[in-house]
Amino acid sequence: MFERLREAINAALDAATGPPDSREVLSGMRDAVIEARAALEGMRQAANKTERQLVVERRHLEDAERRGRLAAEIDDQETVEVADRFIEKHRGRVEVLEDKLAAQRAELELAEKELEEMKGQLKQAAGKDHVDSAWREIEAAGGARPDTDVGDELLRSQLDRAAREAEAEARLDALKKKMGR
């Protein structure tokens, strides 16, 4: 629910503003990586807490089972019934905690993969920005970027046309010689 609201707000803000500067994009990407790292650490701590809770619940389950066996050995039916209730209670908690821990580990694994992807994208974008920054400095100093220099494109077009015309003239001359003119 909140995700859709956030996306709608971001889309509205994007539409209201011009295209972002590459430095702003990189800054946002860095912030996202930092947030993802912090979230990942929080997820690890939550999984560790669940592991500790699971250890405690397993120990309580073992204690209840042991008490139930001891009560059965001395033929104390009332204590056996109490032990059975505790066994079921702790067994249910163990099952829930095991499921919770499995889900947390799976989520942690996904988050780690996403973080690695984000770091790779950031590294790639930072490298591209570095190149773009260098070209901006060259252009500011009066140089021209080969891909964007209009004069260079015009010259290249003129040279291509001259080469095509020279080739056409050569073919025409060869054809004339063949026909004996």
pLDDT in tens, 113-168: 888 888 888 777 776 655 566 556 666 666 555 555 556 666 677 788 888 888 88
The reported pTM is 0.54
Mean per-residue pLDDT for 74-95?
Answer: 92
Q: Does residue 80 carry a pLDDT above 50?
A: yes
Share of the chain above pLDDT 70, in %: 70
Confidence of residue 107 (pLDDT cuts 50, 70, 90): very high
Q: Give just the sign of the alpha carbon dihedral 173, 176, 180, 181.
A: negative
Could you give the CA distance from residue 41 to residue 47 in angstroms, rounded to a whole number? 10
Q: Does residue 102 carry a pLDDT above 90?
A: yes
Q: Which residues of 143-178 are buried (b: 16+ CB within 10 A; e: fewer)?
A: eeeeeeeeeeeeeeeeeeeeeeeeeeeeeeeeeeee
Q: Give me the pLDDT at residue 150, please.
A: 54
Task: Supply 88's token pair.
Answer: 């079921």
Q: Give domain limits for the chain.
A: 2-143, 146-181
Could you give the CA distance from residue 78 to residue 70 in angstroms, rounded to a whole number? 12
